[in-house]
């Protein structure tokens, strides 16, 4: 019984440590026109840690289907340009950051 508890503890500890850093792949980002509408994507980055905890940081990189960089211009909620294709970020605990495409917020007529 002690071995089972020890093994479960080790698995839990390793799982907790390994989830601290991760790479996530989102399969689809929308950018284009169809049916008289301009389609675009919004990306929300969140840090669900408690307020006052360490800052989480990372880089969001957009690539095309063939793996080449995709220089899609991104902005924040205040329409400040964040660059294109690759954006570095830092998030305090219990905060979020919204990214959107620069020119994709209006309807075509």
In a domain? residue 9: no
In a domain? residue 7: no
- Cβ neighbors of 39 (< 8 A, separation 6 or more) are 30, 31, 32, 33, 104
In a domain? residue 1: no
**Whole-number pLDDT of residue 105:** 45
Q: Whole-model pTM?
A: 0.64
d(CA 106, CA 109): 10
In a domain? residue 76: yes
Look up tokens 């093994």; give the residue. Answer: 7
Mean pLDDT of the region 28-43:
83
In a domain? residue 14: no
In a domain? residue 47: yes
- Cβ neighbors of 30 (< 8 A, separation 6 or more) are 39, 40, 41
Tens digit of each residue's pLDDT (9 = 90 or more) over 15-24: 665 556 677 7
Tally the domains of the chain: 1
> Residue 74's domain spans which residues?
24-101
Assign residue 13 a region (left: φ > 0; alpha: ψ between -120 and 50; beta: otherwise): alpha
Closest CA to 74 of 104, 42, 100: 100
d(CA 40, CA 18): 33
In a domain? residue 56: yes
* CATH number of the CATH domain containing 31: 2.60.40
d(CA 51, CA 54): 9
> What tokens were used for 8?
């479960």
**Whole-number pLDDT of residue 104:** 45
Mean pLDDT of the region 50-58:
89
Mean pLDDT of the region 15-41:
75
């Amino acid at each position: 019984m002690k071995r089972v508890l020890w093994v479960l503890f080790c698995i839990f500890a390793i799982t907790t440590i390994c989830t601290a850093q991760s790479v996530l792949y989102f399969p689809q980002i929308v950018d284009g026109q169809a049916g008289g509408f301009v389609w675009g994507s919004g990306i929300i980055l969140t840090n669900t840690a408690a307020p006052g905890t360490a800052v989480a940081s990372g880089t969001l990189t957009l690539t095309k289907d063939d793996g080449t960089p995709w220089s899609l211009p991104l902005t924040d909620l205040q329409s400040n340009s964040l660059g294109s294709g690759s954006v570095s970020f830092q998030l305090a605990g219990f905060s979020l950051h919204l990214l959107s495409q620069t020119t994709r917020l209006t309807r075509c007529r």
